[in-house]
Amino acid sequence: MEHGKYRFIVGFLVAPLALYAVFVIWPFIQAIYYSFTDWTGLSSDFQMVGFRNYSKMLDDGVFWKSFQHSVLFALLLPLVTLSLALFFAYMLNVGGRRRRDAAVGGVRGAGFYKIAYFFPQVLSIAIVALLFQFAYDPRQGAINGALEAFGVADRPNWLGDPDLALWCVMAVLVWSTVGFFVVLFSAGMASIPKDFYEAALLDGASRFTTFFKITLPLLWDTVQSGWVYMGILALGAEAFATVQIMTVGPGGPADSTTVLPLYVYQKAFAGGQAAYATTIGVALLIITLLFAAVVMRLGRRERLEF
């Protein structure tokens, strides 16, 4: 009976594991292999060059600038996005004033606010980037138009200023992703028994205390998973698409918004250096794995059950 059970389980696992190996694991192995060649991506002829691409990468100033921007994205975007999402979700679920029918509840209109916060998730990141590209336009954009209406004479060129362009892109990424985590954290908070909050209120606890003593500890596993997910978005496709569409070049003035995924794309498709692009991709893979490992290690704590 046991033998038949394991054969049944293996039969279900073979197909998905085979697909995962072919479409996920094998491309990683190919990328690592091509990083040791001089492949251009346009010809089937290439030779092994050893660690020459890696040596070139370590001496590449644009790579290090892209590396700094990607690390900044991975550190700041999850911090800002998750902090805002936690605050909004807390106010929508347990941060409202006391009412006669319930001691704990969200602010008035919480259902509408959840829909409003989640609305950017309905839009493609390409559409969001285009909308904000128009909003940031120094001559006809909505942002400078609002500043002009308030009498501000010195209106910045948001995406044309090397000191502002990267922060403008980060603001768009926060706006487009915070709603997803508001809904995610709201679902987690809804599962926390209201008795915990009512007992805390009876003891005279403030909103600040109930958040850090009840909500955050019981929601920590969700926050940790969200941190890893947001970091992967910041290091991957979301950052690439936003920078590619919004900034001039793309990559901004003086490579001020170039991130590692964009640099991989530029080298592979614009520069005809597919092998060097895969080398940068391998570096990006290592950075992403290290980020996830560090977050999981630093965020490890005893699991709380209720």
Span 84-133, pLDDT tens digits? 999 999 888 876 655 555 556 777 777 888 888 888 888 889 999 999 99
> Which value, in Å, is the radius of gyration of the alpha carbons in the chain?
24
**Structure confidence at residue 283 (pLDDT):** 93
pLDDT of residue 264: 93
What is the model's pLDDT at position 92?
A: 86
Res 14: pLDDT: 87
In contact, 274 and 34? CB cutoff 8 Å: yes
- pLDDT recorded at residue 302: 65
Alpha-carbon distances of 136 from 89, 167, 170, rounded to whole Å: 29, 12, 13
Name the more confident of 274 and 98: 274
**Predicted pLDDT of residue 218:** 87
How far apart are alpha carbons 85 and 181 in whole angstroms? 6
Q: Does the pLDDT of residue 2 top 60, yes or no?
A: no
Q: What is the mean pLDDT of residues 249-258?
A: 86
Q: Which residue has the tokens 């895969």?
A: 278
Q: From CA 284, how far away is CA 264, in angstroms rounded?
A: 9
At 280, the amino acid letter reads: I
The pTM of the full predicted model, rounded to 2 decimals, is 0.86
Q: What number is the average pLDDT over the span 241-248? A: 90
What's the CA angle centered on 8, arms 6 and 9, to 5 degrees?
65
Q: Are 90 and 206 in contact (CB under 8 A)?
A: no
CATH of domain 52-298: 1.10.3720.10
What is the model's pLDDT at position 168? 93
The arithmetic mean of pLDDT across residues 66-73, rounded, is 94
Residue 48 has φ and ψ, to the nearest 5°, of -75, 135
Q: Which range among 14-18, 58-62, 200-204 has the greatest average pLDDT?
A: 58-62
Task: Determine what percent of the chain is predicted with pLDDT higher than 90.
Answer: 43
Name the average pLDDT for the chain: 86
In this prediction, residue 3 carries a pLDDT of 58
Rounded average pLDDT over 169-182 = 93
